[in-house]
Amino acid sequence: MENTFDVIVIGSGPGGYVAAIRAAQLGYKTAIVEKYTVLGGTCTNVGCIPSKALLDSSEHFHEAATKFKTHGIEIDNLKINFNQLMKRKDEVVKQNTSGLSFLMKKNKIQVFEGTASFLSNTEIKISSSGKEERVKSKYFVIATGSKPSSIKGVDIDKQRIISSTEALALKEKPESIAIIGGGVIGVEMASIFSRIGVKVTIVEYADSLIPTMDKELGKELKKVLTKNGIEILLNHKVQSAENLGNSTLITYKDEKDTLKEIRADYCLVAVGRKPYTEGLGLENTRVKLDERGFIQTNAQLQTAEENIYAIGDVVPGPMLAHKAEEEGAFVAEVIAGQKPQIHYNLIPGVVYTWPEVASVGLTEEQLKKEGRAYRVGKFPFIASGRARAAMESDGFAKVISEPKYGEILGVHIIGPRAADLIAQAVIGTHYETTDEDMFRIPYAHPTYSEALKEAYLIASGQGAINL
């Protein structure tokens, strides 16, 4: 086995495997280093994929329990098989990791299993099971991702005080879970467990769920999750979490600064993630970290070492799998001398609760802060024929446009299939279309997408047709 390559990618998550595949496609002799026995990183193994598998399974159960009878479907003795729920999730993960292994072979990418550490800007050491191997490369791409973070007074012990990683691999259905954090991970985990009969409490420091997104989305999501039995405590500050052996005790201060307690079987910490750079040997290179631990790069995602690049969760920006994928392909093309572009303002944010939440572009809060004029078009799904037929009355489509020319500034959706609908808005925003352009194109009827058509129409100042 030759130990010299053109490109070595460290980390095999969405950013890493895309970077490796694109580099190989461009004719580079490529290798990828992964410390675990399977490829795919956090997203494939303990994040995006398993959580979506459980979200779908739990939603099917919830639908059967709450809507099937109305549809004329009657089921006796409906119950959850928690072991099968988890088994199916594991099978989905295996299918995806097997697919990645196939892609590595197909693209003739050498896979090294072990932990990579830089010896210099041209050589790394790969350690695995007490063995070490030295490998050289002309270029390196750091794609080591992130790991769960916590807050003062809360230590994740992976037993009772857990992160989403452990939550996605529980051996039995708990009776109760307290979730610290009402961001994307927190509300998705809350949805999974609440739907299958677990008592869920979310404790969020901010005054809104999913606080980085448009405030109206968080407000509507709170209404829906509360209706589904989830207790949501906003403006509450967690002080500590204690493992009591068979349960946990969480102490927090409410809006009035009064100290209170929650007892739950598990405490799930979902307060964000932090870049994973430990053990990379960056001290043996000129690669620098910023004050938050992210790797510093230029606009080309190039570090202080001209031949070392960094992508995904280890660089600043939203920690999204599809953002990492864009950066992976981008870096490979930069190395090849091409001039690709990434439009970070066009990277959509998605929350896979039900209804789903999706957003692209600027929020109302951002526009107000910048003092910019704008128009809003908002259309509720309860007025959509397709949504009513599917008993999907929650949520809305919201379009924000520039008043003079009608350029789309932001689109924010909470409703059925929002994660898919947002792609249309991304295209429209990319090509700088106007609200009128977007409502004048034909939409199939009846579809969920018609809610967007009506929102564009309202934003243009012409008023809805079907409301």
| Active-site residue list | 445
Q: What are phi and psi of 248, to 5 degrees?
A: -130, 155
Distance in angstroms (rounded) separating the CA atoms of residues 193 and 191: 6
CA distance linking residue 300 with residue 293, whole number of Å? 19
The pair of three-digit structure tokens given for residue 404, joined into one six-digit string: 């003079």
**Structure tokens given for 27:** 């004719």
Distance CA 436, CA 83 (A): 51
User: Any idea which residue has 């870096």 for tokens?
Assistant: 331
For the chain, give the number of residues.
Answer: 467
Integer CA distances (angstroms), 275 to 16, 133, 280, in order: 14, 25, 12
- Residue reference for tokens 């799904």: 381
Distance CA 419, CA 202 (A): 23
What DSSP string describes 284-338?
A: GSS--B-TTSPBP--TTSB-SSTTEEE-GGGSSS---HHHHHHHHHHHHHHHTT-
What letter would DSSP give residue 434? B
DSSP per-residue letters across 188-253 = HHHHHHHHTT-EEEEE-SSSSSSTTS-HHHHHHHHHHHHHTT-EEE-S-EEEEEEE-SSSEEEEEE
Spatial separation of the C-alpha atoms in residues 429 and 441, rounded to whole Å: 15
d(CA 317, CA 165): 22
From residue 267, give the alpha-carbon distance in Å to each of 83, 167, 174: 21, 10, 11
For residue 88, give every residue at least 6 positions away whose Cβ sits within 8 Å of its Cβ, in sequence order, or none: 53, 57
At 395, is the secondary structure helix, strand, or coil?
A: coil
